[in-house]
């Protein structure tokens, strides 16, 4: 007997890696990229950038290992969909998602998942003021797998879920083309101080 039921595409799975800076988030993505590629999956990696024409490049984890990425203008996360539209991409990795606007990036992730693509993202949960940053928190609530990573507070040695700015202006995000280089340290909630410039 032939089943008349339409075969429905299975939704992709969402993995979210969240935490402060210096918590090994990019390293984790790099490991995922290597393993998935070795298993023969077709994987594309993206990273947000302040201004971009969609160039290729490498992003480095803090321990200096490169992840091959396609840079995406942080104001236009929907460009990811254009790259994924062809070539039978099965897995999508996105580094530093907090730079993308929340609503637009969540919409992109939903479309990818609906298309059966597995999505792996990492992002900061909080900015240097300890306020919510981009779509990370929203996506944590949607995640099939949530990996929260922590650093060590440089002031007291406790578990550090926060990032403190110690130099470089007071904008929420300072792009790679910014004039002032921001400097950050990982801290716990009680040691955290808001940088006032």
CA distances from 129 to 55, 96, 193 (A): 31, 17, 8
User: Binding of Zn ion at residue 154 (CB under 5 A)?
Assistant: no
Tokens 């996105």 found at: 94
User: Binding of Zn ion at residue 188 (CB under 5 A)?
Assistant: yes
- Distance of alpha carbon 39 from alpha carbon 68, whole angstroms: 17
Q: Among 43, 44, 124, 153, which residue sits at the site for Zn ion (rule: CB under 5 A)? A: 153
Q: x/- binding map, residues 95-134, to Zn ion, per CB under 5 A?
A: ----------------------------------------
CB of 50 or CB of 191, closer to Zn ion = 191
- Distance of alpha carbon 171 from alpha carbon 173, whole angstroms: 5
Q: Give the ranges where the chain is alpha helix by DSSP (H).
A: 25-38, 79-84, 102-114, 136-142
Q: Tokens at residue 49, please? A: 């950038």
CB of 96 or CB of 188, closer to Zn ion = 188
User: Binding of Zn ion at residue 185 (CB under 5 A)?
Assistant: no
CB of 92 or CB of 153, closer to Zn ion = 153
- Distance of alpha carbon 126 from alpha carbon 117, whole angstroms: 27
CB of 13 or CB of 155, closer to Zn ion = 155
Q: Among 83, 155, 173, 174, which residue sits at the site for Zn ion (rule: CB under 5 A)? A: 155
CB of 104 or CB of 193, closer to Zn ion = 193
Q: Are strands 183-187 and 43-49 parallel, antiparallel or unpaired?
A: unpaired
In three-state secondary structure terms, 67 is strand
Q: Among 57, 114, 156, 167, which residue sits at the site for Zn ion (rule: CB under 5 A)? A: 156
- Distance of alpha carbon 116 from alpha carbon 98, whole angstroms: 23
Total chain residues near Zn ion (CB under 5 A): 6
User: Binding of Zn ion at residue 158 (CB under 5 A)?
Assistant: yes
User: Binding of Zn ion at residue 191 (CB under 5 A)?
Assistant: yes
Query: Which stretches of the chain bind Zn ion, using CB under 5 A?
Result: 153, 155-156, 158, 188, 191
């Amino acid at each position: 007997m032939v089943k008349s039921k339409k075969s429905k595409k299975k939704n992709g799975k969402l993995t979210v890696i969240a935490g402060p800076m210096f918590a090994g988030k990019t390293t984790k993505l790099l490991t995922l990229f290597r393993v998935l590629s070795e298993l023969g999956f077709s994987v594309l990696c993206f990273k947000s950038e302040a201004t971009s024409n969609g160039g290729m490049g490498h992003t480095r984890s803090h321990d200096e290992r490169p992840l091959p990425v396609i840079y995406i203008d942080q104001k236009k996360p929907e460009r990811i969909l254009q790259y994924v539209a062809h070539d039978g991409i099965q897995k999508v990795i996105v580094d530093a998602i907090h730079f993308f606007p929340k609503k637009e990036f969540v919409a992109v992730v939903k479309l990818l998942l609906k298309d059966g693509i597995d999505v792996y993202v990492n992002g900061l949960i909080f900015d240097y003021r300890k306020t919510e940053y981009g779509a990370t928190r929203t996506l944590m609530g949607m995640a099939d797998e949530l990996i929260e990573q922590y650093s060590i507070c440089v002031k007291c040695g406790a578990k550090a879920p926060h990032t403190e700015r110690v130099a470089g202006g007071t904008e929420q995000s300072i792009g790679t083309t910014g004039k002032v280089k921001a400097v950050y340290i990982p801290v716990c909630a009680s040691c955290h101080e808001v940088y006032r410039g």
